[in-house]
Amino acid sequence: MSEFNMLINGEAVGADASFDVINPANEQVITQCPMATEAHLNQAVAAARAALPAWSAKSMDERRAVVLQIADRIEANMGELAQLLSSEQGKPIEGFAGLGAMFELGGCLAWIRYTATLDLPVEVIQDNDDARIEVHRKPVGVVGSITPWNYPLLITMWHVIPGLLAGCTVVAKPSEYTPLTVLKAAHLINDLLPPGVLNVVTGKGDIGAGMSAHEDIDKIVFTGSTSTGKRIMESASGNLKRLTLELGGNDAAIVLPDTNVAEAAGKIFATAMINNGQTCAALKRLYVHEDIYDEMCDALAGIAASVTTGPASESPDFGPIQNKMQFDKVCDLAEAAKADGATFMTGGAPLERDGYFFPVTIVRDIPEESRLVQEEPFGPILPVVKFTDVEDALARANAVSVGLGGSVWSSNIEQAQALAARLECGTAWVNNHAMIQPDAPFGGVKQSGLGVEFGRYGLVEYTNIQTMQIAKG
């Protein structure tokens, strides 16, 4: 099928070899995708390099107009793209709280259209009788985008759209688990862009590694695991690539004793289980004060017992875990927590049916050292840890090597904000979690990454600074 071919220099390109794309709801092959070779990657990079001078020479307003056309084209095809996304990623079309495939498509539109409002004005540092000094932002060049399987199209748009607006050209590699929606969207918008401005290659880890080391790629934008991000940093040193890395997290939330459990439990549940827990900034470790611990555990378990897990055809709240590797990890962490003596209030074992289905699981009475607390599960399982002393809870929240997001929950906003400011993370929420928006910078500290995305802060990461000094007299 032509829409599942690669896109190189504006043309649909196949390959001699292919790989299967699996529907995680039934473990059946949806279709096959081309397995890119080094030659395909080189062709894509060469196309992007050739297209760069003309694309970067266009005015910001000209590029902005194209970006807005991209949003319109995606909107016109939202239904078809959502169905395809659901089949390869597993998320329901609507899902719990409307956070399914249509939510991802809506997010694409919101991010594209907001990003199109941004500009890169010249900044004047000095203008006097001696000299005028200006700071210009120039496109960084050819960008390589490597994206994960949890939000395939949305994260691709997060990478690609600011690059295009800034005047860069792009070579994108979607996850081998979820390449179809990205390929379909790329072919849908292909006629809006000059050939070579956006290229999509599909394959496995060797193609991503080839991109990281490629001498003609000027920047890598990567969303994924910390371990892979470290390898990208090593490979990128050859030509000192610019990097934006949004890596793993293990977000903690601290629930203070004055929190209204009835009001907070629903939000906590939704932000922990968003996308079936397969969200980088989802709430993954919940620290609750002993005074309200039992009440919070019961409230969360009550919500978990009321939701459904199943294939999209059943219109469930939650779908499967996206792939077997992640499914096996969640199962393994659950078994380890059982061995540690934790109490499972809901779930705890895979559903007995085809597909990678694991029910929403709430775990209490779990020791801090349990792997389920210390490791990011990236699935529908939440450990609820009791604490007595707030300083101890803060120390435990910060005692990990990653720092993507964190939150504090309380009826006292001032008190919560003061504590949230002490969390070692890139985004700190008060009485919320995992809520991101296109105008607010998002990124991690420690081993959760480098740089930020979104808004003007994210846009300038696709540029280099050129300082221009104009002597007078």
Residues carrying an active site annotation: 246, 280
Pairing relation of β-strands 11-13 and 18-23? unpaired
H/E run at residue 85: helix 78-89
Comparing CA positions, the residue from 288, 256, 291 lying closest to residue 417 is 256
Q: Please check whether residue 272 is in contact with residue 250, taking contact to mean a CB–CB distance below 8 angstroms.
A: no
Is residue 207 a contact partner of residue 191, using CB atoms and an 8 Å limit? Answer: no
What is each CA distance from 414 to 331, 397, 408, 430, in whole angstroms?
A: 40, 20, 11, 10
Quote the CA–CA distance of 360 and 197 in Å, as a whole number: 42
DSSP state of 309: B
Q: Which amino acid is at 245?
A: L
Strands in 105-239 per DSSP E: 123-127, 131-139, 142-146, 169-173, 198-200, 219-223
Are the CB atoms for 124 and 132 separated by under 8 Å? yes
Phi, psi of 35 (to 5 degrees): -95, 105
With vertex at residue 459, the alpha carbon angle to CA 455 and CA 464, rounded to the nearest 5 degrees, is 150
Inter-residue contact 247 to 403 (CB < 8 Å): no
Contact call for residues 13 and 40 (beta carbons, < 8 A): yes
Decide if 436 contacts 454 (C-beta within 8 A).
Answer: yes
Angle at 263 between CA 258 and CA 265, to 5 degrees: 90
Is the alpha carbon torsion for 173, 175, 176, 181 positive or negative?
A: negative
